[in-house]
Structure 1
Amino acid sequence: MKRCGSYVVLVMLGIVALSSFSFALEEKIENGVIVHDSSNVKLINSFVEDVVALLPPEMVKTLEPHLDILTKEANFTVRDDYWRRKVIPLNDFKGRLESIPIRDGAVLARQLGENVKPIFETALRPNGSDVMGDGLKKNLKEALTGWKNGKHVINYTGYKDQSLEVVLGTLYGFAKYNKSTLYPDLVITTADLWSAVWKHGGGETPMVTKSIIRKPADINFRKGAAPAPAYRK
């Protein structure tokens, strides 16, 4: 019986693990707006969920079986040695993205995920001299914590067939932006960037217009009970 009980626990854990990456399969919609609750422990998980919701339908279909790979590769820790290795230059980033194949969903998910870190590093550079990288490190740490606890409204008017170079130009221009309110713009630009990767590989990019509200998690404190995060129905 003990062995059987262990098997049941393992099965349940497997179900939970799979369901945590099913965000592209189900969407909570209120008054025509997609509602995403920030119940994920890490901001990057929420970021990936928001970006994937804005991608071309066929791209989403290709990525869906591999969302665990995408999310795992996307998560990163803030480095301490930005003084040694700087943010990737635009042309190098463009070449890296152009080399991503789109037909193998697992490879596509892995390589898109690997590029989330340079996307954040590029967008969160300070607007000015930062020789030792302290400003970038500070901005990254503040974004990974502050953005997670905020409410964000993302109005996506659709990918308009911009080239990778044009979208990257927007990304690199974020150095001049207020970092505390940059999350919606970064989601939109990343959706454009990944859509441009899809187009460059020969994929179809029909117009997708959506609005998303990213809500902070609701924590309910009940007397005598542990805090219980809200979950999506």
Structure 2
Amino acid sequence: MGVENTGGVTRTEKRAAGRGRPRSRDGGSEDTRRDLLVAAGELFLDRGVARTTMSAIAERAGINQSSAYYWFAGKEAVLAALAEDNRASLKVAREQAAADAPAADRLYRVVRADIAQMLTMALPFHEFERAATASPEDFPSFAADYAELRRLLAVVIASGVASGEFPAVSPQSGADSVIALAEGLALRHYGAADRAGDVAHLGAEMAVRMMTSSPVPAARARLAVEADG
């Protein structure tokens, strides 16, 4: 899956093309921070976390080491930033699991946030997952965060089943199906950050349609999200 062809260029080729070349010359720009996270993720996958140094990260990103330390005090701070990239949708899931709103609306918001997060992460989610699984001691929150997201999705789905919005399905199985849908879309569309919003809405609509077999709740949920700005 890591060599999927997108417009004639594989994802592996896109990663390789960026290695060792200058990306952002301005050490104080947000682009530089992202370049450092991308470079770190690539190196963690290639060499492992233990064998990756800050100087190697800076070199891969194409900036000087002092600029790297402007953004991150050390490798531990880089690891923490990559992990935090993966928590945006979990925060939304926590809010929506406790919210007083139709289950379809809440499911829509969580799935939309999850897909948008994965499409804009510095490292593609499947590669971040691989790095976190290979070095669980360096990403101690990953497994717990993932399990909590699944549990909170199941809570939202269970409330929809209880209210009659959703059919009588297993909340855990429903959560697994929704996660598979979100991760599949993120894998397919990673690198198209300009379309992240559209893809996230599409995935959220598909998730609600999957649970309700009707276009009405999904359309209503989208209108509610868009009304919030």
TM surpasses 0.5: no
Q: TM-score, normalised by structure 1?
A: 0.25
Q: TM-score, normalised by structure 2?
A: 0.25
Hey, which of these two has a bigger chunk of helix by percent?
A: 2
**Greater relative contact order, per chain length (Cα 8 Å cut-off, separation 6+):** 1
